[in-house]
A and B are shown apart, each in its own frame.
Chain A
Amino acid sequence: MILPWLILIPFIGGLLCWYGERFGTTLPRWIALLSMLLLFGLGLWLWATGDFTLAPAPGVAPQWASEFQVPWIERFGITIHLALDGLSMLMVVLTGLLGVLSVLCSWNEIQHRIGFFHLNLMWILGGVVGVFLAVDLFLFFFFWEMMLVPMYFLIALWGHSGSEGKTRINAATKFFIYTQASGLVMLVAILGLVLVNYSQTGVLTFNYADLLKAELAPRTEYLLMLGFFIAFAVKFPVVPLHSWLPDAHAQAPTAGSVDLAGILLKTAAYGMLRFSLPLFPNASAEFAPIVMWLGVFAIVYGALLSFAQTDIKRLVAYSSVSHMGFVLIAIYSGSQIALQGAVVQMVAHGLSAAALFILCGQLYERLHTRDMRQMGGIWARMPYLPAVSLFFAAAALGLPGTGNFVGEFLILIGSFQYVPWIAVLATSGLVLGSVYSLIMIHRAYFGPAKDDSPLAGLRPRELGMVLGLAVLLVLLGIYPQPVLDTSAASMHGVQQWFGTAFTQFASAR
């Protein structure tokens, strides 16, 4: 019974925030903070008590650490079916943590329409938790599309306007159209899958467990897989479909960027691991080389473009493209170690990207610019923030001792076994990563100062957020075992589905 509450808490909290605005401007913030803490706490409690050796695997009916099911739309056999395994658990906890942080980081930034802002923020998080928990394909799609609307509002109403011709509304609309159109392609694929299953069994159902058993002709499987892949690739983002991301990030308020980079991108990776690979293992295996090369391309392309940016938030946004490229390779490499690495990388990137965006936001609050050409010499002008930025830049380039290193290392070592050339080329991402990370530090914090007046230091709230993230990232870097244990069973299941098909295709080639 606890699973629906994970979704309901943010939704109810959001409505309360809206009403709370009548009683003062601080009340909505506290309500939002409390509901996020509640979500995070519930997540941690579930993590501590759950048995995550249970996860769906081929051949047997899926087992879950926790499950919830009530009928919803009987006409189509749609149920509100939520389930939790190690993978979704980690993602939900990450959502809760970043939810708390995004409320905290907008404490000073957002000064008008506070209630409505928090309504949107809470609903995004509620939708994301829904995506991570839903195992009914209709419900999954429902949440997938639903979280777009509040995100749109967040960017369009509270965003920053960028350079001329790039207004926040355009960025928000671009984000919405990209994801909505690709989402409809996925809806067509979902319906195709359901109707194929219906023609075989005579049962109309959207249930994950039942659809896993559908027998698909190779051509159909390939087309349906593509339908899912397009939707996930846009959100991921895989390179030819990524152009909404830098705009959305540059224009979004800090909380929006934190959510976007920290968890919204992860919904796509989660969708591939949960749905694409298990539902269409053969087609995915056939498609895998293309995807992995796209991943290599994303790593290099993201890194190069990141290097060329002058807007600090766009720089971080392109670095996300590069980092998610590693995750893409890992998902389609067919190796258990790489899959585990993908999970660690998702968590680590969630933490480090969130921290970098929070730091950008803090910098923006003080300098009122995101243009690195206007920065320089900040190291001498304010305490703490430059040093903390240096730490997270080092984390982003994969310095040993941080979670990012563990993730990237596992991904490379795992995929090297199966696809050595791709792994070798992907390694270049580490080198390029250090280039753009260090150039960011160099341009923003060192060099000649544009102005010598000291800047306001970090408040305890601001310092607490980033230091907390730094501690978590180091913990993940030196002792990742709890995370690996939690996701082990889920990743093993995915590997069994996909690995067999992958080896067959590899030997056939």
Chain B
Amino acid sequence: MEFTTQHLIALLPLLVTCATAVVVMLGIAWRRNHTLTYVLSVLGLNLALLSIIPALGATPLAVTEMVQVDRYACFYTALILIATLACVTLAHAYLGEHDDGKGYPGNREELYLLTLLAAAGGILLVSAQNLAGLFIGLELLSVPVYGMVAYAFFNKRSLEAGIKYMVLSAAGSAFLLFGMALLYADAGTLNFTGIGTQLAANGLPSAMAQLGLGMMLVGLAFKLSLVPFHLWTPDVYEGAPAPVAAFLATASKVAVFAVLLRLFQISPVANEGLLNLVLSAIAIASILIGNLLALIQSNLKRLLGYSSIAHFGYLLIAVIASKGLAVEAIGVYLATYTLTSLGAFGVITLMSTPYSGRDADALYEYRGLFWRRPYLTAVLTVMMLSLAGIPLTAGFIGKFYVIAAGVESGQWWLLAALIVGSAIGVYYYLRVMVAMFLVEPNLHRHDAPMRWAQRAGGIMLLCVAVLAFVLGVYPQPLLDLVQHAGLAFAG
């Protein structure tokens, strides 16, 4: 095929992100400087974000067999880039300044490099329209994350989390590859559209294709930490440095979910018969088990880990609904979820800033926070309410959309699970919330710096909180955006 400027423009966000990674790498080789590296990464990510605008003009366009740049891809690219930007900003605050002897003792700069690489993988993943593209994107996303999770390797937990994530993620990838091979053997093509037509051609998909799809689902469910493939989640969330956990919860999961949705939308047969039943079972199990296990956590990061399991269970309802509002609902839900998770992990990051061995993630460390840091508490309160899906916050709009998609396609059992799950969920979100307003204990090891709100991380966090509130009150702009972020079906 011919490679024109149009193709390059369509690929601009990916190219800019990759270029930034190269520049950052050369920068580190030339001179180690934390702030410089940070500024370079932020500049590159912002440029990539801006380059979506010209890329939108070129859509929809298939660049090679593997990549389809459409409005859907652009929307999720933007979401990933924004999440990455936020994580990078948080990481800057978290690693701390070298000069005053506080903060992270090792080399700080490589974290940015790894994050940029993972972001590039995410961007590739959301525009993949081919099993090979899917696999390359997924590995490019996952492999740097191993390093990121274990970045604070002086800390036993971080190292343990890194190894655990690597082993389980590799196992997931193996399942994925095997599934792809089976599917290829049956359909004879790697292209999503081709698979769809091949499978639909002879009525129900053959046993081999179903098995292949099922194994692929297992692989993706590992990355999305859906029950019963969720066992790594709480440990990894707990062990990973807070900004990395934020990346894992947002950018990484968004990208994987986006490609899962594209696969199921383009080849709808993948979501029929037995597989539909399996998906429903996974959704219900994720909602119930995620919420129930979150109840007994006294560690905020683990709690958020379990809550994310439940949230992706809610999202599966829309995937199963698959028609009508579903794609839109997932877009809105992922956007609001990303925003909320960034806010929640952001507060944890600032509380643990600068790095001092262990993150401030025990619930008791947040007791009475309101009387010390009222605005930080307000941010976390909004985030908890948003995760619980209470009106006036963005999370409510997301939940509303998912329920609408479920009602539209009559998924009553799944909706019942959602209602039960939300009722359970409210309990632990409220527990976190009310702890912050109680009388404070006498000693506390961790605290956000007094002037947290005047640093980049703090400003970003306040913006996230305001946005979560504004989108809860006036969501129309987001809905417009998502409504136009439809999939392009042409192969």
Contacts and interface: CB of A to CB of B under 8 A. Distances in A.
A187 B403 CA distance: 8
B403 A73 contact: no
Contact of A191 (B388, B404, B427): B404
Given A75-B480, A177-B423, A181-B423, A149 B434 contact: no
Contact of B426 (A74, A180, A191): A180
A146 interface: yes
Nearest to A148: B390
B150 to A, nearest CB: 38
B297 interface: no
A156 B422 CA distance: 20
B475 A176 contact: no
A177 B424 CA distance: 8
A476 B422 CA distance: 43
Contacts of B396: 142, 145
B372 to A, nearest CB: 14
A149 B396 CA distance: 13
Interface string A169-182: 10011001100110
A238 B29 CA distance: 71
Interface in A119-176: 141-143, 145-146, 148-149, 152-153, 156-157, 169, 172-173, 176
Contacts of B65: none
B141 interface: no
Contacts of B437: 153, 156-157
A176 B396 CA distance: 16
Contacts of A181: 419-420, 422-423, 426
Interface string A68-97: 000011111000000000000000000000
Nearest to A123: B392
B426 A177 contact: yes
A195 interface: yes
B168 to A, nearest CB: 34
A216 interface: no
Contacts of A142: 391-392, 396
A420 to B, nearest CB: 39
B476 A195 contact: no
Interface in B414-439: 415, 418-420, 422-423, 426-427, 430-431, 434, 437-438
A173 B422 contact: no
Interface string B305-326: 0000000000000000000000
B85 to A, nearest CB: 27
A192 interface: yes
A195 B423 contact: no
Nearest to B407: A191
Contacts of B135: none
B453 interface: no
Contact of A73 (B415, B422, B430, B479): B479
Contact of B408 (A74, A148, A195): A195
B400 interface: yes
Contacts of A143: 391
Nearest to A189: B407
B385 interface: yes
A46 interface: no
Contacts of A195: 404, 407-408
A458 interface: no
A2 interface: no
A146 B392 contact: yes
A185 interface: yes
A176 B430 contact: yes
B426 A72 contact: no
B489 interface: no
Interface in B364-387: 385
Contacts of A145: 390-391, 396
Which interface residue of A76, A143, A157 has the most chain B CB atoms within 10 A?
Answer: A76
Interface in A306-322: none
B403 A191 contact: yes
B474 interface: yes
A146 B390 contact: yes
B49 to A, nearest CB: 25
Contacts of A187: 400, 403
B377 to A, nearest CB: 11
A177 B295 CA distance: 14
Contact of B407 (A73, A148, A180, A188): A188
B288 to A, nearest CB: 14
A173 B390 contact: no
B483 interface: yes
A176 B388 CA distance: 12
Nearest to B409: A195
A167 to B, nearest CB: 11
B434 A169 contact: yes
Contacts of A157: 434, 437-438
B317 to A, nearest CB: 12
Nearest to A152: B430
A149 B390 contact: yes
A173 B427 contact: yes
A110 interface: no
Contacts of A76: 404
B423 A192 contact: no
A173 B479 contact: no
Given A149-B390, A177-B427, A75 B434 contact: no
Given A145-B391, A146-B390, A148-B390, A188 B419 contact: yes
B416 to A, nearest CB: 9
Given A73-B476, A74-B476, A157-B434, A188 B426 contact: no
B479 A75 contact: yes
Contacts of A153: 434, 437
A185 B420 CA distance: 10
A184 B426 CA distance: 12
B429 to A, nearest CB: 10
Contacts of A75: 476, 479-480, 483
Interface in B423-459: 423, 426-427, 430-431, 434, 437-438
Contacts of A185: 419
Given A145-B391, A149-B390, A184 B422 contact: yes
Contacts of A148: 390
Interface in A407-453: none
A285 B53 CA distance: 57
A176 B408 contact: no
B419 A184 contact: yes
Interface in B87-113: none
Contact of B391 (A72, A146, A192): A146
A180 to B, nearest CB: 5
A349 to B, nearest CB: 28
A192 B406 CA distance: 10
B385 A149 contact: yes
Interface in A473-495: none
Nearest to B482: A75
Contacts of B415: 188
Given A145-B391, A184-B419, A176 B403 contact: no
Q: Which 3 A-B pairs have the closest CB atoms?
A: A181-B423, A191-B407, A75-B479
9 contacts: A76-B404, A146-B390, A146-B391, A148-B390, A149-B385, A153-B434, A169-B434, A180-B422, A195-B408
